Amino acid sequence: MKLTDTKQDQYGRIKRIGGDTHFMNRITAIGVTEGTEFQTVRNDKRMPVLVYLRETLIAVNRSDAERIEVEIR
């Protein structure tokens, strides 16, 4: 499942992150890494996905969120 497929208030874990080196450096620098637990705060169409992880609220744009595979618990 992609991060863009999650619903508000769902909890999960980041399973895999795909993309080029630039994307990987950028996304991991803000704390989005494989194995990290998260909560989807808001996921409205055409808006960034808001996730809460590592005690931080992060907005991930939709094209980046498409590259992040998650598993819901």
Please report the beta strands in 1-73, taking only residues with DSSP state E, as ranges in sequence order.
Answer: 11-17, 37-42, 49-53, 56-60, 68-72
Tens of pLDDT, residue by residue over 49-62, are 999 999 999 999 99
Supply the pTM of this predicted model. Answer: 0.93
Find the mean pLDDT for residues 15-34. Answer: 95
* Sign of the alpha-carbon torsion through 41, 71, 26, 54: positive
The ranges assigned to domains in the chain are 3-72
The pLDDT value given to residue 22 = 96
Task: Identify the CATH homologous superfamily for domain 3-72.
Answer: Ferrous iron transport protein A (FeoA) (2.30.30.90)
pLDDT band at 64 (very low <50, low <70, confident <90, very high): very high
